[in-house]
Structure 1
Amino acid sequence: MAKIWRQVTNGLLVLCVLVTLTLGVGVATHFQEVEQLVKTYTLLRFQALEPINTDKLMEGAIRGMVDALDDPYSTYLDAKTYRHLQESVAGSYGGVGLLITLDEKDKRLMVVSPFKGTPAQRAGIKSRDYIVAIDGRDTTGMDLETASNLMQGQPGTRVELTILPAGESNPRKVTLTREIIKVPTVDGKILPGHPGTGYISLTMFNEQTPADLGRLLNELRQQGMQKLILDLRNNPGGALPAAVDVASYFVAKGPVVYIADQKNTEALMARGYAQPLPLVVLVNKGSASAAEIVAGAIKDTGSGTLVGETTFGKGIVQTIFPLPGGAAVKITTHKYLTPGKHDINKKGITPDYVVPMDPQLEQQVLARAPDLERDVQLQKALEVLGK
């Protein structure tokens, strides 16, 4: 009897919390919905054949509220997933090296791009490939954070991905061995045979990227760099502040990007430390998010010329809100506009010079970039700089 009374007491306590929260956010008029919520909690807690504890019910309620947004980028992050995400933003984690999204049409799990030099790229996984299963688990209806969590893990362990290339009907299975994905986000040199022409590749945007880029730019200038090719191909993006800082090396003044929420639009301004020089930016369909912020700022301000293919088209920004107990919610809170007030979400940025590349050739040349012999986009960039 005492046990039953404890269950009832706990249930009533949770009930009070739910009702108080509901009233507190201004939906007291939705009496029927509140009644449904209370009734459902009571049934699940005390009538289900396999009772579920209150913690699980509360977590499910939070997850369900976020899922109700019907936004593939907004999600509930349990403590483990949130910790993995923090590691990734900081610059390293155990995994296979993929940035993923949900296809807008049928909500299938899709690759934005593989990170350079990672198990995913070495296995030939490409931008816009579909991931139809992870270790045999069907990804239909799976949220992004669950999928990321399944692919991450201890270095040396294996994960099997079932991949369906875009436009094909026969999937293939790929077994990848997880590694420490500590992506060196910045790499570059003076191009052989092209004195004075620098080449810098950015693989993603994390907390380390702006400082690493600044150091490399200084080194290349000391080596006589007078022109630059900035390669953002297959760059899946990353942290917004890092994108603004990176763009500030090339955009002399004015807005880098406009960030708009429900009520306001704010301009994020260039930091004022640019040293302009002739610049070509390489982009492709794997250039997304923060990479598009940088490319859009450079194009709209006339700070450089874009060469390649239309970018991915992710023009929205997520904010992470920590919750008690180590969990968090990630919610789409803003959209961004380029300095010319262009909304590129689901559209992408069309380069000044469109240079298509065969997907198989693209995979090969990006794996060993800069490939002066076979990379037609890089060759076009050199031609543009020559003019």
Structure 2
Amino acid sequence: MAKIATGSPAEKALAFTSTLTLVGLPVLTTAAWANWQDSPKTVVDEAWQIVSDTYVDPNFNQVDWTAERQTLLGQEYISSEAAYASLKALLAKLDDPYTRFMTPDEFQAFSNQTSGQLVGVGIQLTLDPDTNALTVVQPIADSPAMAADVQPGDHIVQIDGTLTQGMTTEEAANLIRGQAGTTVNLLMQRHDTAPFAVTLTRARIDIPVVNSGLREINGQRIGYIRLSEFNAHSADQIEQAIKGLEQQQVEGYVLDLRNNPGGMLDQAIAIARMWLNKGAIVRTVDRDGDAEQVTANRTAITDKPLVVLVNGGSASASEVLTGALQDDHRATVVGTQTFGKALVQSVNRLHDGSGLNVTIAHYYTPSGADINHRGITPDVVSESPDEAQRELWMHPDRLGTEQDAQYVSAITQLQQAIAAAPLAQGRLNSQ
């Protein structure tokens, strides 16, 4: 079964389809079996089985899990919603916010998010604070909107002939969304020019989760990489960012994981291997005490000095990556205490399209530290007033600039690391 590390209670993770054999079902005729499969009880029992087989706590938080199954199956459910409610009530008894049930709609949205793709035209929307007009924040890279030269600040006047005045961004997004290959007609206005029509063909679009760039500071070339989450394309995007900055001959890196809630464990491991040529990355332990240790595999892209930026919103997969880089003395960690989630989940698709997220293991950093409910302590604490942080995150274009106090602290540490680096800096350790 695939393993994922997820973020806070609203964590993001890989949608994992699990095929399970239901056990303990009554012997049924063909007709009765068909009725059973269509019954809401099937989903209830399927979910019960997954938790029974894989949940990290074999005592189920002192809940008599076998008795709970009898209670669940002894009820008559007039609808799927009623069965879902009973299942959620049972899962709540585990007192684990990361083991949770998702309705089919919730699971589909969850899967879309964590797959790293969306189907649409690639427009980020907001409402103009002065006119309340529906406004383009920016087109997503390599999207139909970008190909059509849609620009930040453009107003969307109509969507398929429907006026947008008074619409919320959610209502507008629902009208713009659709199946890949279909079209949507937009009437747009740029500044004070006459409105113009744009026809966009919806497509599958990779969601960008990496923002990177070259910073020249006091004559030094610094690579800045910000990762917002660990989805199915995070490692690929990080690799492209590192290789692009290496071509620009940077002298060191700042990896910004602030407010990154986590996501897929395999992506965190893959990214760790881009920075680490050797050493442990993470150790997971399941409910039977079986441990699995993951190590670097001599595939690092660079050994140049590295500083990692974290805060209280850096959780789960972010902490796996940060813990590995800190414990293996590969990076200096700057910022504030991280969230403190050291649990691994599997995400299972149930037969009716709903989903179940289940905690299946505990993880430890390479030094053996258990950071659950504790978090990772930075090597260099850099705090910023709450009001300053709110203002910063309301203007993401200020991240990684001189207006970002924690970034400035990170640069100070990175400059010290660059100055202390050996002359052979930039060549991978081949030992």
Structure-2 residue corresponding to 1:196: 221
Corresponding letter in the other structure for 2:299: Y
How does 1:1-387 map onto structure 2 within 5 Å?
41=75, 52-53=78-79, 55-92=80-117, 156=173, 183-193=207-217, 194-263=219-288, 264-274=290-300, 275-366=302-393, 367-387=396-416
Corresponding letter in the other structure for 1:226: E
Distance 1:16 1:199 in 2: 51
Aligned residue pair count:
294
Distance change >3 Å, CA 206–CA 311, structure 1 → 2:
same
Q: Sequence identity, in percent?
A: 29
CA offsets, 1:150-182, max 9 Å, x none? xx9665369xxxxxxxxxxxxxxxxxxxxx997
Distance change >3 Å, CA 217–CA 341, structure 1 → 2:
same
Distance 1:79 1:15 in 2: 13
Contact between 2:224 and 2:400, CA under 8 Å: does it hold in 1?
Answer: no
Distance change >3 Å, CA 220–CA 63, structure 1 → 2:
same
Distance change >3 Å, CA 191–CA 64, structure 1 → 2:
same
Distance change >3 Å, CA 328–CA 377, structure 1 → 2:
same
Corresponding letter in the other structure for 2:373: K
Distance 1:16 1:364 in 2: 49
Corresponding letter in the other structure for 2:359: T
Distance 1:195 1:34 in 2: 63
Contact between 2:40 and 2:83, CA under 8 Å: does it hold in 1?
Answer: no
Contact between 2:306 and 2:332, CA under 8 Å: does it hold in 1?
Answer: yes
**Aligned-pair CA distance for 1:84:** 0.7
Corresponding letter in the other structure for 1:156: A
Distance change >3 Å, CA 58–CA 285, structure 1 → 2:
closer
**Aligned-pair CA distance for 1:251:** 1.8
CA offsets, 1:232-257, max 9 Å, x none? 11111111111111111112223211
CA offsets, 1:119-172, max 9 Å, x none? 79x9xxxxxxxxxxxxxxxxxxxxxxxxxxxxx9665369xxxxxxxxxxxxxx
Distance 1:34 1:236 in 2: 33
Corresponding letter in the other structure for 2:211: D
Contact between 1:118 and 1:181, CA under 8 Å: does it hold in 2?
Answer: no
Distance 2:261 2:66 in 1: 44
Distance 1:293 1:72 in 2: 19
Distance 2:66 2:320 in 1: 44
The two structures, once aligned, show a CA RMSD in angstroms of 3.9
Higher relative contact order (CA closer than 8 Å, sequence separation 6+): 2
Corresponding letter in the other structure for 2:238: L
Deviation beyond 6 Å, 4+ runs, structure 1: 13-18, 20-23, 29-35, 117-120
Contact between 1:84 and 1:93, CA under 8 Å: does it hold in 2?
Answer: no
Query: Which consecutive unaligned segments of at least 5 residues does structure 1 have?
Result: 1-5, 46-51, 95-116, 123-151, 159-179
Distance change >3 Å, CA 218–CA 81, structure 1 → 2:
same
Structure-2 residue corresponding to 1:132: none
**Aligned-pair CA distance for 1:92:** 4.3
Distance 1:382 1:347 in 2: 26
Contact between 1:260 and 1:336, CA under 8 Å: does it hold in 2?
Answer: yes
**Aligned-pair CA distance for 1:66:** 2.5
Distance change >3 Å, CA 381–CA 32, structure 1 → 2:
closer
Contact between 1:183 and 1:203, CA under 8 Å: does it hold in 2?
Answer: no
Using structure 1 for the length normalisation, give the TM-score: 0.65
Corresponding letter in the other structure for 2:340: G
Contact between 1:365 and 1:371, CA under 8 Å: does it hold in 2?
Answer: no
Distance 1:289 1:243 in 2: 9
Distance 1:82 1:211 in 2: 24
Query: Which consecutive unaligned segments of at least 5 residues does structure 2 have?
Result: 1-30, 54-63, 130-168, 176-203, 417-431
